[in-house]
Amino acid sequence: MQLTAGAVLEAENLWKTYDTSEQEFVAVRDVSLCIAPNELVLLMGPSGSGKTTLISMLAGLVHPSSGRVVLCGVELGRDEFELSMLRRRHIGFVFQNYHLFPALTALENVSEILGLHGVPRRDALERARAALAAVGLADRLHHRPDALSGGQRQRVAIARAFASNPDLLIGDEVTAALDSFSTEQVMHFMRDFADRRGAVLLVTHDHRLEQYADRIVEIEHGRVTSTRPGPRRPSPVPGLA
Protein backbone atom coordinates (compact mmCIF):
# COMPACT_ATOMS: atom_id res chain seq x y z
CA MET A 1 0.00 0.00 0.00
CA GLN A 2 1.31 3.42 -0.97
CA LEU A 3 1.21 6.12 1.69
CA THR A 4 -1.14 8.96 0.86
CA ALA A 5 0.66 12.26 0.42
CA GLY A 6 -0.43 14.89 2.92
CA ALA A 7 -2.39 12.48 5.13
CA VAL A 8 -2.43 13.39 8.81
CA LEU A 9 -2.67 9.77 9.81
CA GLU A 10 -2.31 6.60 7.87
CA ALA A 11 -2.52 3.06 9.14
CA GLU A 12 -1.58 0.08 7.04
CA ASN A 13 -2.58 -3.52 7.72
CA LEU A 14 -2.79 -3.13 11.48
CA TRP A 15 -3.15 -6.24 13.58
CA LYS A 16 -3.27 -6.57 17.32
CA THR A 17 -3.33 -9.92 19.04
CA TYR A 18 -3.21 -10.67 22.76
CA ASP A 19 -1.96 -13.96 24.12
CA THR A 20 -4.25 -15.03 26.93
CA SER A 21 -3.52 -18.13 28.98
CA GLU A 22 -5.93 -20.23 26.97
CA GLN A 23 -5.91 -18.78 23.48
CA GLU A 24 -4.79 -16.01 21.22
CA PHE A 25 -7.24 -13.12 21.06
CA VAL A 26 -7.30 -10.94 17.96
CA ALA A 27 -8.49 -7.43 18.85
CA VAL A 28 -7.78 -5.73 15.51
CA ARG A 29 -7.58 -7.51 12.16
CA ASP A 30 -5.87 -6.05 9.17
CA VAL A 31 -7.17 -2.49 9.46
CA SER A 32 -6.00 0.15 7.04
CA LEU A 33 -7.16 3.72 7.46
CA CYS A 34 -6.23 7.16 6.18
CA ILE A 35 -7.31 10.49 7.64
CA ALA A 36 -6.82 13.64 5.60
CA PRO A 37 -6.38 17.17 6.98
CA ASN A 38 -9.68 18.90 7.88
CA GLU A 39 -11.50 15.60 7.96
CA LEU A 40 -13.73 14.50 10.83
CA VAL A 41 -13.92 10.72 10.97
CA LEU A 42 -16.20 8.73 13.24
CA LEU A 43 -15.12 5.26 14.27
CA MET A 44 -18.24 3.36 15.25
CA GLY A 45 -18.96 -0.12 16.40
CA PRO A 46 -20.39 -2.17 19.26
CA SER A 47 -18.58 -2.67 22.58
CA GLY A 48 -15.62 -5.01 22.22
CA SER A 49 -15.35 -4.43 18.49
CA GLY A 50 -11.74 -3.21 18.79
CA LYS A 51 -12.32 0.55 18.52
CA THR A 52 -10.32 1.45 21.62
CA THR A 53 -7.45 -0.84 20.70
CA LEU A 54 -7.40 0.64 17.23
CA ILE A 55 -7.24 4.29 18.36
CA SER A 56 -4.66 3.34 21.00
CA MET A 57 -2.45 1.99 18.20
CA LEU A 58 -3.16 4.97 15.97
CA ALA A 59 -2.09 7.30 18.79
CA GLY A 60 1.06 5.31 19.54
CA LEU A 61 -0.17 4.28 22.98
CA VAL A 62 -0.17 0.58 22.13
CA HIS A 63 2.23 -1.13 19.75
CA PRO A 64 0.59 -3.06 16.90
CA SER A 65 1.42 -6.73 16.53
CA SER A 66 1.99 -6.02 12.87
CA GLY A 67 1.36 -3.27 10.37
CA ARG A 68 2.41 0.32 10.62
CA VAL A 69 1.13 3.78 11.50
CA VAL A 70 2.38 6.97 9.92
CA LEU A 71 1.57 10.20 11.76
CA CYS A 72 2.20 13.45 9.86
CA GLY A 73 4.73 11.70 7.69
CA VAL A 74 6.60 9.96 10.53
CA GLU A 75 6.26 6.24 11.05
CA LEU A 76 5.58 5.35 14.68
CA GLY A 77 8.32 3.21 16.15
CA ARG A 78 8.68 1.58 19.55
CA ASP A 79 10.81 4.13 21.33
CA GLU A 80 8.72 5.58 24.19
CA PHE A 81 10.46 8.92 24.20
CA GLU A 82 10.10 9.42 20.43
CA LEU A 83 6.45 8.43 20.63
CA SER A 84 5.94 10.95 23.43
CA MET A 85 7.51 13.69 21.33
CA LEU A 86 5.38 12.78 18.31
CA ARG A 87 2.18 12.82 20.34
CA ARG A 88 3.20 16.09 21.96
CA ARG A 89 3.74 17.68 18.55
CA HIS A 90 0.82 16.26 16.60
CA ILE A 91 -2.00 14.83 18.73
CA GLY A 92 -4.56 16.23 21.12
CA PHE A 93 -6.83 13.97 23.16
CA VAL A 94 -10.33 14.28 24.55
CA PHE A 95 -11.60 11.53 26.84
CA GLN A 96 -15.02 10.37 27.92
CA ASN A 97 -14.28 11.10 31.59
CA TYR A 98 -12.28 14.25 30.87
CA HIS A 99 -9.25 13.21 33.04
CA LEU A 100 -8.87 16.71 34.46
CA PHE A 101 -6.89 17.19 37.68
CA PRO A 102 -9.53 17.94 40.33
CA ALA A 103 -7.21 20.16 42.37
CA LEU A 104 -6.36 22.41 39.43
CA THR A 105 -8.50 25.18 37.98
CA ALA A 106 -9.67 25.12 34.38
CA LEU A 107 -6.87 27.52 33.48
CA GLU A 108 -4.26 25.40 35.26
CA ASN A 109 -5.52 22.17 33.72
CA VAL A 110 -4.90 23.65 30.29
CA SER A 111 -1.73 25.65 30.99
CA GLU A 112 0.07 22.90 32.97
CA ILE A 113 0.19 20.65 29.91
CA LEU A 114 1.66 23.49 27.87
CA GLY A 115 4.16 24.14 30.66
CA LEU A 116 5.17 20.47 30.64
CA HIS A 117 5.58 20.78 26.88
CA GLY A 118 8.14 23.49 27.50
CA VAL A 119 6.01 26.55 26.78
CA PRO A 120 7.09 29.46 29.04
CA ARG A 121 4.64 30.05 31.87
CA ARG A 122 3.35 33.43 30.68
CA ASP A 123 2.79 32.16 27.12
CA ALA A 124 1.18 28.99 28.47
CA LEU A 125 -1.29 31.01 30.52
CA GLU A 126 -2.07 33.26 27.58
CA ARG A 127 -2.66 30.33 25.26
CA ALA A 128 -4.73 28.54 27.88
CA ARG A 129 -6.91 31.63 28.36
CA ALA A 130 -7.41 31.92 24.61
CA ALA A 131 -8.25 28.21 24.26
CA LEU A 132 -10.76 28.38 27.12
CA ALA A 133 -12.30 31.55 25.68
CA ALA A 134 -12.62 29.79 22.33
CA VAL A 135 -14.79 27.10 23.93
CA GLY A 136 -16.89 29.68 25.78
CA LEU A 137 -15.31 29.34 29.21
CA ALA A 138 -13.69 32.76 29.59
CA ASP A 139 -15.73 33.27 32.75
CA ARG A 140 -14.82 29.90 34.23
CA LEU A 141 -11.02 30.14 34.16
CA HIS A 142 -10.56 29.80 37.89
CA HIS A 143 -13.20 27.18 38.53
CA ARG A 144 -12.11 23.70 39.54
CA PRO A 145 -13.65 20.75 37.67
CA ASP A 146 -16.03 19.93 40.51
CA ALA A 147 -17.54 23.41 40.14
CA LEU A 148 -18.25 22.86 36.44
CA SER A 149 -21.01 20.94 34.68
CA GLY A 150 -20.21 17.86 32.61
CA GLY A 151 -20.42 19.86 29.40
CA GLN A 152 -18.15 22.56 30.78
CA ARG A 153 -15.62 19.98 31.93
CA GLN A 154 -15.57 18.46 28.48
CA ARG A 155 -15.04 21.92 27.01
CA VAL A 156 -12.06 22.40 29.35
CA ALA A 157 -10.75 19.06 28.08
CA ILE A 158 -11.28 20.23 24.49
CA ALA A 159 -9.47 23.49 25.24
CA ARG A 160 -6.61 21.44 26.70
CA ALA A 161 -6.46 19.42 23.50
CA PHE A 162 -6.68 22.50 21.26
CA ALA A 163 -4.16 24.60 23.17
CA SER A 164 -1.12 22.78 21.85
CA ASN A 165 -2.27 23.23 18.22
CA PRO A 166 -2.33 19.55 17.29
CA ASP A 167 -2.68 18.24 13.75
CA LEU A 168 -4.96 15.45 14.90
CA LEU A 169 -7.52 15.37 17.66
CA ILE A 170 -8.48 11.93 18.96
CA GLY A 171 -11.59 11.60 21.07
CA ASP A 172 -13.02 8.60 22.87
CA GLU A 173 -16.77 8.71 23.53
CA VAL A 174 -16.44 12.42 24.15
CA THR A 175 -20.21 12.96 24.36
CA ALA A 176 -21.16 9.80 26.22
CA ALA A 177 -21.61 11.59 29.55
CA LEU A 178 -23.24 14.72 28.11
CA ASP A 179 -26.81 15.89 27.59
CA SER A 180 -28.08 16.78 24.09
CA PHE A 181 -27.30 20.46 24.39
CA SER A 182 -23.74 19.91 25.59
CA THR A 183 -23.27 17.22 22.95
CA GLU A 184 -24.25 19.67 20.27
CA GLN A 185 -21.85 22.31 21.64
CA VAL A 186 -18.95 19.87 21.89
CA MET A 187 -19.51 18.54 18.38
CA HIS A 188 -19.61 22.02 16.92
CA PHE A 189 -16.20 22.69 18.46
CA MET A 190 -14.94 19.43 16.96
CA ARG A 191 -16.36 20.30 13.58
CA ASP A 192 -14.93 23.79 13.77
CA PHE A 193 -11.52 22.39 14.66
CA ALA A 194 -11.66 20.02 11.69
CA ASP A 195 -12.68 22.78 9.33
CA ARG A 196 -10.10 25.29 10.40
CA ARG A 197 -7.13 23.53 11.96
CA GLY A 198 -6.70 19.79 11.71
CA ALA A 199 -8.24 16.36 11.50
CA VAL A 200 -10.51 14.72 14.06
CA LEU A 201 -10.95 11.04 14.81
CA LEU A 202 -13.77 10.20 17.22
CA VAL A 203 -14.75 6.86 18.64
CA THR A 204 -18.44 6.76 19.47
CA HIS A 205 -21.59 4.72 19.84
CA ASP A 206 -23.73 7.79 19.36
CA HIS A 207 -25.39 7.92 15.95
CA ARG A 208 -26.41 11.55 16.56
CA LEU A 209 -22.79 12.48 15.87
CA GLU A 210 -22.95 11.20 12.29
CA GLN A 211 -24.36 14.54 11.12
CA TYR A 212 -21.00 16.20 11.91
CA ALA A 213 -18.81 13.62 10.19
CA ASP A 214 -17.07 13.62 6.85
CA ARG A 215 -16.69 9.88 7.02
CA ILE A 216 -17.99 7.05 9.18
CA VAL A 217 -15.95 3.91 9.63
CA GLU A 218 -17.76 0.91 11.08
CA ILE A 219 -15.76 -1.75 12.88
CA GLU A 220 -16.83 -5.13 14.17
CA HIS A 221 -14.81 -8.06 15.55
CA GLY A 222 -11.67 -6.00 14.99
CA ARG A 223 -12.32 -5.61 11.26
CA VAL A 224 -13.52 -2.58 9.30
CA THR A 225 -16.90 -3.62 7.95
CA SER A 226 -17.90 -0.44 6.14
CA THR A 227 -16.79 3.08 5.33
CA ARG A 228 -19.34 5.64 4.24
CA PRO A 229 -19.44 9.42 3.82
CA GLY A 230 -21.19 11.47 6.52
CA PRO A 231 -23.45 14.52 6.05
CA ARG A 232 -21.16 17.20 7.49
CA ARG A 233 -23.04 20.17 8.81
CA PRO A 234 -20.97 23.06 10.14
CA SER A 235 -22.97 25.81 11.87
CA PRO A 236 -22.51 28.39 14.63
CA VAL A 237 -22.07 26.94 18.09
CA PRO A 238 -25.49 26.91 19.78
CA GLY A 239 -25.75 28.84 23.01
CA LEU A 240 -22.50 30.69 22.48
CA ALA A 241 -22.02 34.07 20.92
Partner 1 sequence: MTIATVLAFSELGIFVGLQDSSSAIIGRTGGDVWVMKSGTAYFDAGKPMLDGIRPALAAHACVKRVRGVVTAFVTALTEKTSPVGAMLVGVETDQAAVVPWEIERGLPSDLKQWLNVSVDSLDQQRFGFAESALGESFKIQGLDVRVSVVTKGIKAFALSPYVFADIESARAIAGLSRGQSCYWIVDLADPRCSDDFLRWVPERLGAQGDVEAKLTSVFERQSQEFWMSGSGAGIVLKFAVFLSLAVAAAVVIQTLNASVRDHVKELAALLAFGVTRAQLIHFVLWQAAGLTLLGAIPGGFATLLVSRLAFDAGIRIALSPAVFLLGGAGLCGITALAAALACRSVLRIPVRLVFV
The contact set with partner 1 (CB under 8 A) reads 52, 55-56, 59, 61-62, 80-81, 84-89, 91-93, 95, 97, 99-101, 113, 116-117, 160, 164, 172
Least distance from partner 1 to the Cβ atom of residue 97, Å: 7
Quote the strand ranges of the chain, DSSP E.
9-19, 24-35, 40-44, 66-71, 74-75, 91-94, 168-172, 199-204, 215-220, 223-229
| Closest to partner 1 by CB, 88 or 232 | 88
CB of 184 to partner 1, least distance (A): 24
Q: Which is nearer to partner 1, 116 or 133 (CB)?
A: 116
Cβ distance to partner 1 smaller for residue 43 or 188: 43
Q: Please report how close the Cβ of residue 156 comes to partner 1 at its closest, in angstroms.
A: 12
Q: Which is nearer to partner 1, 170 or 213 (CB)?
A: 170
For 185, list phi and psi in degrees, rounded to 5: -60, -50
**How far apart are alpha carbons 123 and 42 in whole angstroms?**
33
Q: In the complex, what is the shortest distance from the CB of residue 152 to partner 1, in angstroms, rounded to a whole number?
A: 17
Distance (Å, whole) CA 47 – CA 63 = 21
Instruction: For partner 1, give the closer residue by CB, 103 or 240.
Output: 103
Burial class (CB in 10 A: 0-12, 13-18, 19+), 29: middle
Amino acid, single-letter form, for residue 154: Q
Q: Which is nearer to partner 1, 97 or 149 (CB)?
A: 97
Distance, in Å, from the CA atom of 139 to the CA atom of 129, rounded to the nearest integer, reads 10
Q: In whole angstroms, how close is the CB of 98 to partner 1 at the nearest point?
A: 9
CB of 92 to partner 1, least distance (A): 8
User: Which string of b and e fits 13-22 if b means at least 16 CB within 10 Å?
Assistant: ebbbeeeeee
Listed in sequence order, the residues at least 6 apart from 237 whose beta carbon sits closer than 8 Å to its beta carbon are 136, 185, 188, 189, 192
